Amino acid sequence: MAISISLTVNGKPVTADIDPRTLLVEFLRTRLGLTGTHVGCDTGQCGACTVHVDGQAIKSCTVLAVQAQGVAVTTIEGLASADGTMHPMQAAFKECHGLQCGFCTPGMVMSAIDLVERHPKASEQTIRDELEGNLCRCTGYHNIVKAVQQGAAAMGK
C-alpha cells in the first residue's frame, strides 16, 4: 500500500506516493535523484547520510520518509546559491583540504553547519566532540576541524 507524502526539499515542494517502509535517505537518492546524500552504513553510525530537517542535522537512514511529512529537508545539493556560489562551509572544506575521497564530505558539511549554529565560537574540542557521529576513513580529521573553524568564521559564528 502506497502512502502519499508532501514535503519541501531544497526549497521546492515535493509530493510522492511511497512504500511506507521507505527510508528518507532512499527517497532522496532514488526518487529525487539527490545522490549527494551518501549511504555508508545504513545503521546510523557513519553520518554520511546527514541532511537537515527543519534546520537540524539528522541521519536520514534512521528516519522513514513518511516521518518527513510536512517538513523542510535540505540536502548538500541545496546549500549553494542559485548562481553556484558554494556555501561558506563548503568553500572552507575545499580551501582547507578537509576531504580526500569525499565520501563523508556531504554529511560532514551538513553536520558542521548545524554544529556551528548550535555552538557559536566552538572550541576545537567541541568540534571534535560534535563530529563524533560522522566517520571519515581518509583524513585523520585534522583538516576537517580546520575547515569547520574557517567555515564558522565565514558564517559569522
List residues near ligand FES by CB under 6 A. Answer: 39-42, 44-49, 59, 61, 99-104, 136-139
DSSP string computed for 85-140: PPPHHHHHHHHTT--SS-SSHHHHHHHHHHHHHHSTT--HHHHHHHGGGS--SSS-
Nearest approach, Cβ of 66 to ligand FES (angstroms)?
Answer: 18
Q: By C-beta, is 2 or 41 nearer to ligand FES? A: 41
Nearest approach, Cβ of 134 to ligand FES (angstroms)?
Answer: 9
In this structure, what DSSP letter does residue 152 have? H
What is the C-alpha separation between 68 and 59, in angstroms, rounded?
Answer: 12
Nearest approach, Cβ of 37 to ligand FES (angstroms)?
Answer: 9
Residue 5: closest CA among 51, 99, 80, 68: 68
Nearest approach, Cβ of 128 to ligand FES (angstroms)?
Answer: 15
Residue 51: closest CA among 4, 109, 118, 8: 109
Show the CA angle centred on residue 139, arms to residues 136 and 145, nearest 5°: 85
Q: By C-beta, is 12 or 65 nearer to ligand FES? A: 65
Q: By C-beta, is 109 or 122 nearer to ligand FES? A: 109
Q: By C-beta, is 10 or 105 nearer to ligand FES? A: 105
Q: By C-beta, is 134 or 149 nearer to ligand FES? A: 134
Nearest approach, Cβ of 1 to ligand FES (angstroms)?
Answer: 26
